[in-house]
Each structure stands twice: as structure tokens, then as C-alpha cells.
Structure 1
Amino acid sequence: MTTTTIVKCLVWDLDNTLWRGTVLEDADVVLTDAVRDVVRALDGRGILQAVASKNDHDLAWKHLERLGMAEYFVLPHIGWGPKSQSVRAIAERLNFAPSTLAFVDDQPAERAEVAFHLPEVRCYAAEQVTALPTLPEFSPPESTVDSRRRRLMYQAGFARDHAREAWSGPDDDFLRSLDLRMTIAPAGPEEITRVEELTLRTSQMNATGVHYSDAALRALLADPGHEVLVVTMGDRFGPHGAVGIVLLATQPQVWHLKLLATSCRVVSFGAGAVILDWLTDRAARAGVHLMADFRRTERNRLMEVAYRFAGFMESGCACASPLGEPAGGVERLHLEPSPRPGPRTLTLTAAGSIPFTASATR
């Protein structure tokens, strides 16, 4: 059985493709409702959209703004170079494989030029635009909270990178300026797909490397003895999205942290240490012992450091006996928790005293 590769980014030509008319020849250009609906539909599915157009940049951009479409395009390449170069630059900036990009243009010669230099990029004629949302390659199997705001996350990331490049002071001061915020809350049914992805793809900050399937996570959601918590972050530029998972088994005397994983995108922020700080404070207030599963790998040294700084140690604690022996190289770390100051406003130490507002929703 062959699997359709989903398009992650659609690159648009403008004249007589996105809109009717040409910027340099017509007093005005027209965007049809049908094309506008296509752009919005793909955006809602988490498919990024960019521009590769041979045009006067300032004039074309004014039309995009006038039509209310500028916000939908993450990387507009408007100029006079070959469109294959623009498409390649877009793929590299997004760190996407060419096979996950598509290109739509009304000119056969332009499609041929892109296809010649980037044969993995799928090319479509302008006449096919309204049919694109019906094609399997533009129909991701799942729609998640993060997929629906993917464009905003990328735009925030580009703005954040630009601000960092322009910053002339110490890195710690820049990180403080971000106004980083963290939320820890029970995962909802529509967030499970993203949570499963984190268990599968995260390696640097993954305590065990155990993959929990969609079905297993949904079963734990329904189990009163387990908590499946999702960690999200944002800053003054916009959302980072879901960046972590906490899988916790709760018993009267002990809480068993089966999995802690955070995205590599927030490793530099020390998010794992912040989560452990919050969890330790919460366990202390509940009067329970904390136990965490951990498996050493070549890539998760930072997670081990986070556990050690939080106070977790090997121990022959009797609380582990009812759970049986861990399997597959997993060891059990233990902590007798004590209250941590300021459980609502946490200080991230790994990257230099950055305040988080961590709101834990129960």
C-alpha cells in the first residue's frame, strides 16, 4: 500500500493564479471567493502557504494587503529571479523536504522550470486551484489545535528570530524580554494526536523514549488513576504550541511520573526543569512521594541533568514494589518533595533566570 505524502506548504504564483489580472498591467486585480475559500481551508488544515511571484514587490504586497490575504503567507518571495530558486529558498527556510512542497502557477513554462530543478515538488495549473482541497495530498488525516494555528506559530518564530538577530545585548536579557509563559493542563481529546507525536519524535528531552499510541493515551485519559497533561508555551511574539507531555500515575502515597518529554524547540528555555519544579511543589502539597521512570540514551543527557537538579536520586524506596520491576533498561528515580517557592511564577535557571507564568489547570 502506498501512502500519500501530505503537502506541508503550498507556494502560490500571484498574477492570474491567486488573483485575476496582472499587477503591472491592470489597475486592479480580483480575488474570487472560491480562491479565498481555498486559502482559508488549507490554512485551517495546518498547510503553510507562501508566494513565488515575478513582480514588483511593493506593488504586489499592497494588493495582498488590500485583499486581506497578506497574513496567510509565511514567506513571500516577490521579485524577478527564477521561481525554482524561490521555492528552494522557502523549503530551506522551513526545513521541509521538497517532496512536501507544492507549487501552483498559470504559466506552463514556470511550472516546467520548477519541475526541472525541483522534481520532487508537485506542480499544479491555476485551473486546478479550487480542486486542491479535495486532493488526498492536501488532506491531512488529523486536525489538531497546533495544526490549526501552525501559520501563527511559524510567523511568531520568524519574528522571534528576527528580533534575536537584531538584539545587541546579552542572550539572557533577550530571553527575559520574551515574556515567556507556560501552561500545564489536562490534555483534551483533540490534543492527543500532538501528544502522541511528542512521545514518538522527541529524543533530547524524553525521559524514557517510550511511545504511547493514540489508543493508549485515550485509555489513560479515561482512567481516574492517571493524568495526561499537555504543556503549552507562548511569548510576546505568539504561540509555541504544545511543547511537552507529562504522564502521571497517581496513587494515595506515591505519584509515578511515567513520562516527561518536551520539544527540542524549548530545550534552550529549560522547560523540563520548570515542569519538574511545578510538579515537585504540587506533590509536596499533596503529601505524596514522587517516583520517575528514566532510561539513559545517547541523546537525553539534558533530561537526566534536569532530574538531578530537581533532586531525583536512585533509591531502594519501598514505594516501587507494588508497581513491579521496570523493563527495558528503565530505572526508577525518587524524590521526597518539598514545597517550591512561588508555584505560580517559576524561575527558569537553565537559561538565565527567565520568569514563566505557569498556570496549572485542574
Structure 2
Amino acid sequence: MSKEIKCVVWDLDHTMWEGVLLESPHVTLKPGIPEIIRELDSRGILQSIASKNHREDALAKLKEFGLAEYFLYPEIHWNAKSTSIENIRKNLNIGIDTFAFIDDQPFELEEVKSVHEDVLCIDAAGYKELLTRPCLQPRIITKDSTRRRLMVIEDMKRQQEEETFEGPKEEFLASLDMKFVISEAREEDLQRAEELTVRTNQLNSTGITYDYDELNIFRQDPNHLLLVCELTDRYGSYGKIGLALIQKTAEADYLKLLLMSCRVMSRGVGTVLLTHLMQRTKKARKRFLAEFCQTERNRMMFVTFRLAGFNEVDKREDISILEHNLEKLHPFPPYIEVQVPQLEESF
């Protein structure tokens, strides 16, 4: 199964348009390019630019074509395109192995491949087949998917304000008026829940993925609780950014899966869902255990468990069983309003 691409990076001259902009301002878009760009966007695939050009002229031309809004963190300068892709990756905070790069020059494709071997490099001559590539056909397209570019733009606005904010970071976070909503997953949440298990790697406690049908079984099973969470602030919604699956017994609550989108880690909400679960279990006077399976990417989640006060109490093959004694729980951050609408009073 091919890796799902999360970001397509475009060259411009002889790739997106016919001709060289530096030689003539009268370049024309290649046939079908606007439709391809808009379709990728509707699938929740982010897009950017890596082009050796004069930045102002290239951006003006993209605006003239009505396409400028589709490209996030465009890298338009004379530096190596491998550097451009790395800069885009840092800004978007997604894995380099989820990038595709399209260029008409073999040299540029080889230069990128020599530095980023996991980037999918595509000759521009085959651009018309882009939409039929399996890696650019997400199996799940949710409401959050279709808004992905807009959510990144909202994040950019938040970041710009944070950079100019004078005062402690907690004061800035308080100014965002954040609301963290935890609720039981409904059937209409399941596609996004499945997408979260597929797309979230760094903050995923087990690395296990669940499909729609499996999640729906858990949702309806009285011995399990499937929770989703959403974060909003005065800029808008970050979308559904977290998921938890709990197995309930008379003696203990077992956290089978916990994941949180990396997009919200800078907002200090990474432990809110976990803290909420532990508070409820403590109120029910039960034990709280969590499964953790180390993967190539989820060390950050292990650190989250350890800093929260978990200790390993058992080991089953590659799965560690962690437990929290629930004696001392960290409170929610004071700058976040936590809402738990219509969630049953006890596990």
C-alpha cells in the first residue's frame, strides 16, 4: 500500500505553466492545472511551491491566475529545492515521507531525492495523471479534511499574532479564548476518528489504526467508551483533534488508545483529555491503566505518559502496561475552558 501524500510541492516554470516567467510575463497555465489544484485541495491535500524565481513576480502571477490562495508557505528564491521542501515541512509540521514534489527538470528531482529519499519525486510530464495516483486518493475525506488548508491558514494567523504579542505565553494563550470539548463519538464522527488513527503518528499511544466498522463496534459496545475532542478559539475550530478508546471493567479502566494531533501541542492541550479520563476514573474509585506500544515516531507520547506520572507495571510482548496511582493529578491549564457535554456521569 502506497504512503498517503499530505502535501504536494509544485515547481512553476514548465511545470505549472508553459514558459519561463523571467523571460516573459505572458506565461500560460498548462491545461487542467487549476482543476487539479482545486481537486487536491478538496481532498484535504496541502500544496506549496518550490521555485527558482523572483518571489514577488511569481506570487503576482499566481494571484493573477486565481491560484495563490492554495499554496502554503511558498518557497520562491534561488536556494536548493531540497532546502525549500525542508522549510515547508517544518512550517507544516508533517513527515517528510508524506511529501510529493513535481518538477520538469531531472536535476531538480535528483537533487531533492538525494537529500530527502522519502519524498515522492514526480516528473512534470505526467502531471495529468496526478489525481489517479493512489497516494493522492485519500480513502477518507471528512469535513475536517476539506477545511485542512483553511485550518493551516488560521494557524498562521495565530502564529503571527503570537510572535508580536508582548507578554508571557500564558497570557497569549488566555487571549485565544480556547474551548476544549470532549464528547462521546457519534456515528458522524467515525470517519474523522478513523482518519486520526491513520494520520497521527507522534502522539499515538499504540500506533494501531482502526477502520470505520471497528470504531463503530466500540462505539456501541457498553464495555467500551470512544471519545473525540475538538478545540476551538476565537480564530475558529482546529477540528476534531483527539481520540480515546477505553475498555471498562468493574475494577479498572484500560486506555487502549490515546492520540492527539500534533497541530495543537503548542497550545498546551496535550494532556487535557488524559487528565479528564483519570479524573473520572478516580471518581469511580477504579484503577487506571494504559497500553503503550513504542513505534518509530511516538516517543513524544511516551514522554507525555511519564511526565503525567505513569509507571510500567507489566509487559505483554511489545506492549507496555502503564498505571497511574491517581493520587496527584495535574489540573487543566487555566487558559482552557474544558467542556464535557452530555457525557455519561461515570464509566
Provide TM-score, normalisation by structure 2.
0.72
Distance in 1 (CA, whole Å) between partners of 2:174 and 2:244 is 25
- 1:356 aligns with 337
- 1:301 aligns with 306
Distance in 1 (CA, whole Å) between partners of 2:98 and 2:244 is 31
Equivalent of residue 82 in structure 1, options 80, 83, 97: 80
Cα pair distance change 1:37/1:170, threshold 3 Å? same
- 2:37 aligns with 39
- 1:55 aligns with 53
Q: How far has the Cα of 1:301 moved from its partner? A: 2.9
- 1:14 aligns with 12
Distance in 1 (CA, whole Å) between partners of 2:200 and 2:16 is 39
Q: How far has the Cα of 1:280 moved from its partner? A: 6.3
Paired residues of 1:144 and 1:190 also in contact (CA < 8 A): yes
Question: Which structure has the larger Rg over C-alpha atoms?
Answer: 1
Distance in 1 (CA, whole Å) between partners of 2:200 and 2:73 is 30
Paired residues of 1:156 and 1:237 also in contact (CA < 8 A): yes
Cα pair distance change 1:152/1:302, threshold 3 Å? farther
Q: How far has the Cα of 1:290 moved from its partner? A: 6.1
Cα pair distance change 1:171/1:229, threshold 3 Å? same
Q: How large is the Cα RMSD of the aligned pairs?
A: 4.0
Amino acid at match of 1:217: L
**Residue ranges of structure 1 left out of the alignment (5+ in a row):** 306-326, 336-347
Distance in 1 (CA, whole Å) between partners of 2:9 and 2:232 is 27
1:263 aligns with 2:227: no
Cα pair distance change 1:278/1:116, threshold 3 Å? closer
Distance in 2 (CA, whole Å) between partners of 1:201 and 1:107 is 34
Provide TM-score, normalisation by structure 1.
0.69
Q: How far has the Cα of 1:196 moved from its partner? A: 3.5
**Residue ranges of structure 2 left out of the alignment (5+ in a row):** 293-301, 311-318
Q: Alignment partner of 1:16: what SS? A: coil
Q: Percent identity?
A: 31
Deviations 1:291-318 (A, max 9, x none): 463249763034448xxxxxxxxxxxxx
Equivalent of residue 129 in structure 1, options 127, 130, 154: 127
Paired residues of 1:144 and 1:193 also in contact (CA < 8 A): no
- 1:157 aligns with 155
Q: How far has the Cα of 1:83 moved from its partner? A: 2.6
Number of aligned positions between the proteins:
316
Q: Alignment partner of 2:230: what SS? A: strand
- 1:181 aligns with 179
Cα pair distance change 1:358/1:116, threshold 3 Å? same
Deviations 1:55-86 (A, max 9, x none): 22112212222333222111201122233332
Amino acid at match of 2:22: L
Q: How far has the Cα of 1:219 moved from its partner? A: 0.7
